[in-house]
Amino acid sequence: MLESSLILLVVLLATYEVINRCLTTLIYMDDGAIDHGVPVPLHDCPEDVWASYIIVQREQYLRERKLNLGSEYETDKVRWDGILEREWLIMAERLSSGIGVDDSIRDQMGEDFFEAGVLEAEAHQVAAEFHEIFWQEKLIPFVYYEDFLMLAHQGIFRLDEFALDKGRKWEKKVRELLTSYDYETVGYITILEEVYLHVIKK
């Protein structure tokens, strides 16, 4: 986690230097490409358009996630900051491939700027990054509720069976959410006195 945070910090600092070096003027986009009139660089420096876009998206993503978490975030900021940074790294990779990028930004950057046809490959990569636990003589992926919610919402969650740590969430609500993404619970998995939901694809 520390290594990822350091890498992210270096990237952000480098991005800031690029923007300062190449730009002297900012304009406010009025075509809705970025919400709330966030300033983006002039069109003659596409790399800076992208750098500014990524910075804005990160700040907006983290702000909205913290607001959604509410008091739960306040009770354990250190843990949640780590989870949110991990979420953002996944989001940043998707954006760099052109997935979920605003249309006007895609037009400015050009399709060659993004990697083509990466959604399925990324989905498999994301799935492979989950830790696995040994249960009933087999390995099963271990997923935190927050990771499932984020990845399922983005349409890149591909696991057919996993152990879900619901945290402090009300089990009934978690089951309803799983059902909305075509998953169901079929029992419980107990590891070292901790109880998790056993989830499978319908």
Place of tokens 């994301």: 126
User: By mean pLDDT, which of 12-16, 39-43, 195-199 is the weakest?
Assistant: 39-43
Q: Is the pLDDT of residue 148 over 80?
A: yes
pLDDT digits (tens, 9 = 90+) for 165-175: 988 889 999 99
